[in-house]
Structure 1
Amino acid sequence: MILKNASVFVDGKFLPADITVSDGRFETIDSKAAGKAASGKQTDDEIIDLSDKLVIPGFIELHSHGCIGYDFTTSAPEELEKMCEFYSENGITSILATTMTIGYDTYKRAMLNIKEACENNTKGSRIIGINMEGPFLGAAKKGAHDTRYLLSINEQKYEELNDLSGDRVRLIDLDPDLPGAIPFIEKYSKKKVISLAHTACDYETAVTAIKAGASHVTHLFNAMNGLHHRAPGIIGAVSDYPVNAEIICDGIHIHPSVMRLVFKAFPEKLILISDSMSAAGLEDGSYELGGQKVFVKDGKATLKDGTIAGSTTTIYKAFKKCIEIGIPVEQAVLSATLYPAKAIHAEEEIGSIAAGKRADFIIMDKAYNIEKVYSGGKLLVSH
């Protein structure tokens, strides 16, 4: 397959280029050949003229709990496949199935269901691992996680859950204030990504955790202490140290002014996530997250007491929201593609358009509307 005359996102900018895709991978990206006729040896290939179109890498979602009425923690494998179809319709080609604090037996079933979905899924986005959010979180900043099911750091339980998943856990969220957290980080950060999450920890504790091996921060500004000029907390640690930070750009979780501020302060660390729950893609109403009732009004999801309970957005909507509030489009693309790939050490396979990498990409018009989505060179979605 040859994609000709597109504006292609390569090395952080848009360039006029022709792309050759072969055996599910990008074979060549040739900006010099843009606009030229295909050579004789290419005449048997499918040639697609993409004049006035944009080509960007497929979106990568590291933190989504659910959509269209389903949830990674409580839904059956066939329902997870329906979720993956929804994600692909919104430009996501790779996703970490994100679990939620819940009763331990339910958690074990979730790991088995995700494993089965990974082994048998043939439609939509690829589940490339698990983001294990909970149960090792702090009660002080629990957010929508049910206090009844929060656990202290427990290596045996983590090992059991990871084994049930077929060793698919790629990211572990935890509160560094919990007893045993620092030794856990030192041990498991050698093979897994450790994220600081749902914690009231101070700057010093965050720095200790980062030096121990934590390299990620879960939904920056949310479920943590705010930035204070004498108590910088996790946000100050993100500024000072080489860690990645998730952000929910839905206009609800973080004010646009603060979004613009952090994109100026440390843009290369920021990763767009949705933190979506089962209401994403559906109307306002009553839903469930982690066994708790969630009420959605005007797209805002909350518990009965008003606590924000995930979001109803998507990476695609977050991408467009970034552009709407003044974030450069190039930065929005990087935060939805290359930076999440780097965060989970997958950048050699996905996250950018380069020769040899998996051909996951989105074709958009110049208003950033998705027209087609490809995964491994295979057409998933055509709008």
Structure 2
Amino acid sequence: MKFINAEVFVDGKFQKVDFEVKEDKFTLIKDGLTSDDHKDCVDCEGKLILPGFIDIHSHGCVGYDFISANVDEIEKMCEFYASNGITSILATTMTIDPEIHKQAMRNIKEAIDTKVKGSRIVGINMEGPFLGVDKRGAHDPKFLMDIDNNFFDELNQLSGNNIRIVDIDPKLPHSNEFIEKYSDSLTVSLAHTSCTYDTANKAIESGASHVTHLFNAMNGLHHREPGIVGAVSDNDVHAEIICDGIHIHPSVIRLMFKAESDKLILISDSMCAAGLEDGIYELGGQKVIVKDYKATLEDGTIAGSTVNVYEALKRAIHFGVPKEKAILSATMIPAKSIKAEDQIGSIAVGKKADFVILDQDYNIEKVYRDGLLI
């Protein structure tokens, strides 16, 4: 199948190129196919084509959560993600009773092994329980714990070794030893911490290469105490950013994209209310109130978001982020952060044929995963 006459996002910019898909891969990209090539063509005149979006940090949507969903419910979630152009997802767990966490890993493994419909689950983001109590956010403090290699190994084994990101507070005992042990095989992210700039730098020197939801659940940037934000600026690491206009003010989003756009990853950090209306929900066993699409615990603590990455992308552009930078932060940069850029994240020969066809106003018209219309 060939797709012609669209403005295609290739190599970080929109270009008037045509491309061919065979089986599940992009096999040809060129300035213009010859008339002899125009068999089995899809004419995309006036359309935009983007790589499939990637969300590496989402807890749930449409009433379900990866920490408690069975395989059928996970499939419903993945179908919702795919309908929004999100073709790859990291199933994100959180701090919970250890036995529930273990069952979640089994369920996600089964969903991966059975290849559920919709968005492709490329792995797991384990957010908790190795987090700081003082910056716990919506994580239940009674289940937080110090770093425990044996518990992590058990969870990873139950998941089928599918954990791609593990989040830790670098202030916890033995954090640097943990980072040194695991950072070659997966991405270690600094999260839910009041650590200083120096502590963050030591963790990065040990092998941490990622920061979870920048500005949220950490100390703010101060001119004498730059904290993790300063460490991100000074090091070759990736940093997630929640672009819903609630977690971070649009001015700060613009500032960070001007300063560090090649490091930023748009995430949803969505909870089960994403895709649904205001109401009462649950996250990690705790009551969550959603009003005007803002999710909070009963004490007012923000408890994840109700957006998805496609909505976050549109909001970033609306806030004034250059569209090319926003698109890269929803496609190629998250792929790099989990060492999957050779498979997904861009429209390039040999990569998975994941792409989204949109109109000029960024309204989704069609979504393809592995070369097949979803």
The interval holding the TM-score normalised by the smaller chain is: over 0.9
Are 2:51 and 1:53 equivalent residues in the alignment? no
Partner of residue 97, structure 1: 91
Contact 2:170 2:200 in 1 (8 A): yes
String of CA shifts for 1:5-25, please: whole Å, max 9, x gaps.
010001000000111101111
Alpha-carbon distance in 1 for matches of 2:109, 2:243: 29
Partner AA of 2:48 in structure 1: L
1:37 and 2:31 correspond: no
Contact 2:6 2:44 in 1 (8 A): yes
The answer to whether the aligner puts 1:192 opposite 2:190 as a matched pair is no
- Structure 1: 4+ residue segments shifted above 2 A: 36-39
Aligned to 2:210: 216
2:148 is the alignment partner of 1:158: no
Q: Per-residue displacement from partner, 1:93-135 (whole Å, max 9, x unpaired)?
A: 0000000100000000000000011111331001010000000
Tell me what 1:367 maps to: 361
What do residues 150-206 of structure 1 show as CA deviations (whole Å, max 9, x unaligned)? 011000000000000000001000000000111000110011100000000000000
- Asked if 1:249 is matched to 2:243, the reply is yes
What is the aligned partner in structure 1 of residue 118 from structure 2?
124
- Report 1:195-344 matches (<5 A): 195-344=189-338
Superposed CA deviations along residues 360-383 of structure 1, whole A, max 9, x for unmatched, are 000000000010000010111xxx
Are the equivalent residues in 1 in contact too, given 2:61–2:272 (CA < 8 A)? yes
Gaps of 5+ in 2: none
Residue 212 (structure 1) shift: 0.2
Which of residues 93, 102, 115 is equivalent to 1:108?
A: 102
In structure 2, distance between residues paired with 1:38 and 1:136? 59
Correspondence 1:23 to 2:23 = yes
Length-normalised TM-score, structure 1: 0.97
Instruction: Give the counterpart letter for 1:244 in structure 2.
Output: H
3-state SS, counterpart of residue 368 of structure 2: strand
How big is the shift at 1:37? 2.6
Three-state SS of the structure 1 residue aligned to 2:5 is strand
What secondary structure, in the 3-state scheme, does the structure 2 residue paired with 1:268 have?
coil
Letter of the 1:37 partner, please give it: S
CA distance in 1, matches of 2:50, 2:267: 17
- Alignment: residue pair count: 374
Q: Distance in 2 between matches of 1:125 and 1:325?
A: 27
> Cα 1:364–1:38, aligned 2, differ >3 Å: closer, same or farther?
farther
The answer as to 2:163 corresponding to 1:169 is yes
Give the secondary-structure state (helix, strand or coil) at the position aligned to 2:317.
helix
Q: Secondary structure at the match of 1:295?
A: strand
8 A contact 2:78–2:116 mirrored in 1: no
1:88 aligned to which of 82, 85, 89 = 82
1:374 counterpart SS class: strand
Match in the other structure for 2:371: 377
Letter in 1 for 2:15: L
Question: Which runs of 5 or more structure 1 residues have no equivalent in the other structure?
Answer: none
Q: Percent identity?
A: 63
**Partner Cα distance (2:341, 2:151) in 1:** 30
Q: CA deviation at 1:323?
A: 0.7
Q: Distance in 2 between matches of 1:131 and 1:217?
A: 12
Distance between the aligned counterparts of 1:334 and 1:357, measured in 2?
A: 16
| TM-aligned CA deviation for residue 51 of structure 1 | 0.3
Distance in 1 between residues matched to 2:74 and 2:88, nearest whole Å:
14
Aligned partner letter, 2:314: K
Shift of 1:238: 0.1
User: Could you tell me how far 1:38 is from its partner in structure 2?
Assistant: 4.0
Considering only aligned residues, what root-mean-square deviation do their CA atoms show, in Å?
0.8
Q: Are residue 349 (structure 1) and residue 347 (structure 2) matched? A: no
The match for 1:358 among 352, 357, 368 is 352
Q: CA deviation at 1:76?
A: 0.7
Q: Distance in 2 between matches of 1:38 and 1:236?
A: 55
Residue deviations 1:55-76, cap 9 Å, x none? 1100000000000000000111
* Distance 1:283-1:256 versus aligned 2 partners, 3 A rule: same
